[in-house]
Structure 1
Amino acid sequence: LIMACTLAGIAVSPSSTLTPLEILLLAVCVLVASSTSGAFNQWFERDIDSIMDRTKKRPFVTQELQPSNLLNVWLVVISCIALFFTYRVANIEASIYLFAGIFTYGIIYTVWLKRKTWMNIVIGGLAGSFAVLIGSAATGNTFSTAPLILSIILFLWTPPHFWALAICFKDDYEKASVPMLPVVTSISITSHAIFWHTFLLVLLSFALIFYGMHWVYLIFALTGGLYFLYTSVQLLRKQDKSWAKKTFFASIIHLGLLLL
């Protein structure tokens, strides 16, 4: 997903001097770096993962991978290599955004926020926004309108995606004492939050048509957006886990269509 967001950031930028090989190398760097932060997340959360049914089969929980500080050293080394090659392939700005994404997900979200506040996923969602900015920075168009709009769309997309999942696994999060929004408030409040985030991001997704996107994009944005909005409305009305699950998958479909 993070790699796809970076490629989308390149695609919506007004111009690019990157060669296909450079784009491929940049995509690999982002994939590697995001994988290291994901691995650290699973290492750090192995205690709560063992409590939750959804995550109890992850490799650090099952001991398929042995947790060790040496592993974290290697993750840091690999991340630094990815940052260096991002700088060489693109520029220092893209490398800074990549670091910001790693730090946001690995430290701010995983270590500082996830177990302390329901805002965890709201702030953690910046990692997706940084992924888009990596791509636009690599083309020299960081502050162009289209990449900025797409980065905001990613920021708005992340909370309803994970809040819908949190409704489905509300009992899991309660057992693990993770303060996701439906745990600390209610399914009703969470459903309203999901709807308004969805409404805003769907509305904003149409704005990209005014910044060089093809009419095919409008069809995809309209199809995925209306379906995502429909499921969020049904979740708001019925407030049950079955519609939360449908909303979760609708969010994936919507983002997938936007990034095609």
Structure 2
Amino acid sequence: MGTAAATIHPSASSRVRLVLGVFKLRIGVMIMITALAGLAVTPGPSLSAVQWLVLAFSVLLSSASAGAFNQYYEYESDRRMARTRNRAFATGALQPTPAWLGVIGALLAGSVVATWTVVNGVSALFVFLGAFFYAVVYTVWLKRRSWLNIVIGGLAGSFAVLAGAAAVDPSIGPLGLLLALVLFLWTPPHFWSLAIANQKDYADAGVPMLPVVVGPERAARVVFASTVLLVVASLLPAWFGAGPVYLAGAVVGGAFFIVKARRLASHPSRATAMGSFFGSLVQLGLLLLAAGIDGLIR
């Protein structure tokens, strides 16, 4: 009897993991790091420790609210995809009740108000826009309507960079704008690589990701071309004040991603697509790390 009850009623720790999974915290942490990179590369007065913490956690919480809304809104289609069918709302482990919208709205409102109060209004605007573009523009408006869904939805990451840059200088200089451009160009080859690996899932769910619309071979060539464009753009900050550490990170990470994307274009398969996806994570990780170090030592 005790075993059966334990099966029906998950433990408190399991339920906490379910709830945390709804908020896509791993993505949120990455978005938070991009905001801190935007802050680090922007010349200007130093922020206080409190301002740093408020900016970091506000971006994390706004991203978490958008991630939760994505799962709340998409739970039925998530059931049709192998990659997402085990999400808490999709399995029924958590019920998508209206109360979740209250939690999501409170997280977003709290993050925007905190940034406005402790940092500045321009940074708060970008914190809001990052969540809005992922939750509404991408999830609600574009995901099922256009293969450009992830291109425009990728502005969510760019707004995080701009939130960090605006925290130092609301007028936002060229380094902040260029790093935001890099994040905008990074999202398509990153996500399209994953979409090639999971093409059948997206086709079954009726989501017009690029590989579903044009086929995996052509999509793989687009991934390679967009990766080259991304890497070229990632080098531009070196001409606007970014130092040698940043440039080294951009070159090494960019070269790695190009090699992986080239293999995908030459031999499209799930394995090479996942290799390209992994390459995108390495490229962004090295770039953000180098940007942070470069900003600290300048």
Task: Say whether 1:216 aligns with 2:256.
Answer: no
Of 239, 245, 248, the residue aligned with 2:268 is: 239
State the distance in 2 between where 1:167 and 1:176 align: 14
If you compute each CA radius of gyration, which structure gives the higher value, 1 or 2?
2
- Tell me the residue number matched to 1:96: 125
Deviates more, 1:2-11 or 1:137-146: 137-146
Q: Does 1:144 align with 2:173?
A: yes
Unaligned runs of 5+ in 1: none
Q: How many residues align?
A: 260
Given candidates 40, 43, 59, the residue that maps to 1:14 is 43
Residue 21 of structure 1 aligns to a residue whose secondary structure is helix
Query: Identity of paired residues, percent?
Result: 43
Kept after mapping to 2: 8 A contact 1:87/1:94: yes
Instruction: Determine whether 1:230 maps to 2:259.
Output: yes
Q: 1:5 & 1:76 partners in 2: Cα distance?
A: 23
* C-alpha deviation, 1:74, in angstroms: 2.0
What is the SS of the residue equivalent to 2:90?
helix
CA gap 1:90/1:2 in 2 versus in 1, 3 angstroms: same
CA distance in 2, matches of 1:141, 1:234: 41
Q: For residue 216 of structure 2, what is the aligned residue in structure 1?
A: 187
Extract structure 1 runs of 4+ deviating beyond 6 A. Answer: none
Does 9-18 or 214-223 show the bigger shift? Answer: 214-223
Distance 1:175 1:3 in 2: 33
Provide the rounded CA distance (Å) in 2 between the counterparts of 1:252 and 1:89.
32
Structure 1 contact 15–141 (Cα < 8 Å) conserved: no
Residues 10 and 16, structure 1, Cα contact 8 Å, conserved in 2:
no
Once the two structures are TM-superposed, the CA of residue 141 in structure 1 deviates from its matched residue by: 4.7
List aligned pairs for 1:84-163, cutoff 5 A.
Answer: 84-163=113-192
Matches for 1:52-63 after TM superposition, within 5 Å: 52-63=81-92
Secondary structure of the structure 2 residue equivalent to 1:110: helix
- Whether 1:173 and 2:202 are equivalent positions in the alignment is yes
Any conservation in 1 of the 2:62–2:108 contact (CA below 8 Å)?
yes
- Give the match for residue 228 of structure 2: 199
State the AA in 2 paired with 1:57.
N
Q: TM-score, normalised by structure 2?
A: 0.85
**Corresponding residue for 1:31?**
60
Structure 2 portions without partners, runs of 5+: 1-29, 290-298
**TM-score, scaled to structure 1:** 0.97
Q: Pick one of 258, 273, 286 that aligns with 1:257.
A: 286
Cα deviation code 1:22-48 (max 9, x no counterpart): 111110011011101100000100011
Q: CA RMSD in A?
A: 1.1
Q: Distance in 2 between matches of 1:29 and 1:141?
A: 17
